[in-house]
Amino acid sequence: MLNMSTPSELKSPCVPRNGMVKLPPQPNGLGSASITKGTPAAKNRLCQSSSVPGILPPPSLPYHLDPLNPLGPDLDHSPLMALKPPLRQVPLTLPKPHLPLTLPLALLLPLERQLALDEKLLNRLLWYFTTAEKCVLAQVCRTWRKVLYQPKFWEGVTPILHAKELYALLPSGEKEFVSLQAFALRGFQAFCLVGVSDLDICEFIDNYPLSKKGVKSVSLKRSTITDAGLEVMLEQMQGLMHLELAGCNDFTEAGLWSSLNARLTSLSVSDCINVADDAIAAISQLLPNLSELSLQAYHVTDTAMAYFTAKQGYTTHTLRLHSCWEITNHGVVNMVHSLPNLTALSLSGCSKITDDGVELVAENLRKLRSLDLSWCPRITDMALEYIACDLHKLEELVLDRCVRITDTGLGYLSTMSSLRSLYLRWCCQVQDFGLQHLFGMRSLRLLSLAGILCLSLCLSLFLSLCLCLFLSLSLSLSLSLCLSVSLCLSLSQFNSRGFIGMGNICLHCQSK
């Protein structure tokens, strides 16, 4: 977790007995807003870029240099407004083993100084650090900050800004909106705003230089945005393509009719009490280019599923309906005819869906690659037979809390050659015999059995599973909270009967 507040005076690092050094908070000029708070959303969003160069860092280069000592003439000693990173331990590599920890600049070898400030080298080396580590490394010196502030290092990162952190208290007692220039330098295109009002959103648009054209995604959570604020935001932010509204109870369906813009390609609405069928009508009429829709609304009925237009039938590929309790099999009929090109569908928590609804999905949505039927208590083994017979491209199937599924249903799934991920968490009727049906699934890479209480798996069972799967990659088995399992092992590079290089198999079990 990273809090963007002004740290206190710098303190010298303390070295414990294990040779690790704790880095104190360091200043770096990033303002006083917060990139993340300690929330699950922050952990999920704060991720490293997937782009990694094809070289390894030189083994002679220190993993982390002492931030209290300058690395070159480009570093002055003026305090930098900075992130306040959490204390973390990193190995300390010294150029000379007999030198003190506080190494003066004069004792650094010229080659080491040149390497530490070589921008070409830094541009490749710094890819190997996590986002949280990059925030700390940006405090080392100006050169490192200059390199790390390039937008390429922050792609896919979403800063989370809470309303109380958007303002600084002046000596006069008045509040001033914080500077977002440091965010603009790194080119952030997505923001999550928590607890904001209409005024806060207007201030954000006025103070963030990239808000008008550069921001592509905005998430508003637990905010008091009204119809007027929503209209202003979507009118001003011309580059916005992805919008999430979670826990926003002050806007109405009329606000959606007046504000939604055809630029939006992805929309997520959850826990907003004023959302019902008319909101779906607005979405279907005003968003012809919609490719992804996530909806969690208790008052949406079967009628809303017929509102989608022919244009959306071609463009929409992902539909997530979470806990839409009023949707029945009739709604599924409307949906499969309106959106025939879906590749990902979630009916999680739609408790009125039965096997007949799943049959409609299997017969009409042949392009599905991901299907989530978790928390659908009326689903039985018959639904799994429909899935196995018709959904030949399905790669992911989530059946968590489908309490009527038995070993017979797993026998149907064992015939699916394309299935890569299978979630059976808390399916209380699944037992050892049912798992034996999965032995022939050569493409299976992830099997989650968390919460199944009746398993009594033994070592020979797992070895048989490994041999039958003949993995070319890795198989992940999740067995947490399987109360009857008392086994924990790790198999790596298993070699038997000529099967070599099967990958890593990690089993995490909780004993009785």
How far apart are the C-alpha atoms of 336 and 371, rounded to whole Å? 13
What local confidence, expressed as pLDDT, does residue 442 receive? 86
How far apart are the C-alpha atoms of 2 and 36, rounded to whole Å? 5
In the numeric block, which tokens belong to residue 432? 């050892």
What local confidence, expressed as pLDDT, does residue 478 receive? 61
Q: DSSP state, 168?
A: E
Q: Residue 478 forms beta bridges with which residues?
A: 448, 508
Vertex 504, ends 498 and 508: CA angle to 5°? 130
Task: Summarize pLDDT for 310-356 with one digit per residue, the tens.
Answer: 889 999 999 999 999 999 999 999 999 999 999 999 999 999 999 99
Return all residues near 278 (Cβ < 8 A) that are at least 6 apart: 253
82 vs 408, more confident: 408
The neighbour count for residue 35, using CB atoms within 10 Å, is 25
What local confidence, expressed as pLDDT, does residue 97 receive? 42
CA distances from 283 to 23, 262, 279, 286 (A): 49, 10, 6, 5
Per-residue pLDDT at 207 exceeds 70: yes
Confidence of residue 468 (pLDDT cuts 50, 70, 90): low
How many helices (H) and strands (E) would you count in the chain? 17, 19
What local confidence, expressed as pLDDT, does residue 311 receive? 87
- Average pLDDT (7-14) is 41
**Mean predicted lDDT score pLDDT of the chain:** 77
Confidence of residue 104 (pLDDT cuts 50, 70, 90): very low
Task: Summarize pLDDT for 24-44 with one digit per residue, the tens.
Answer: 444 444 444 444 444 444 434
What local confidence, expressed as pLDDT, does residue 434 receive? 84
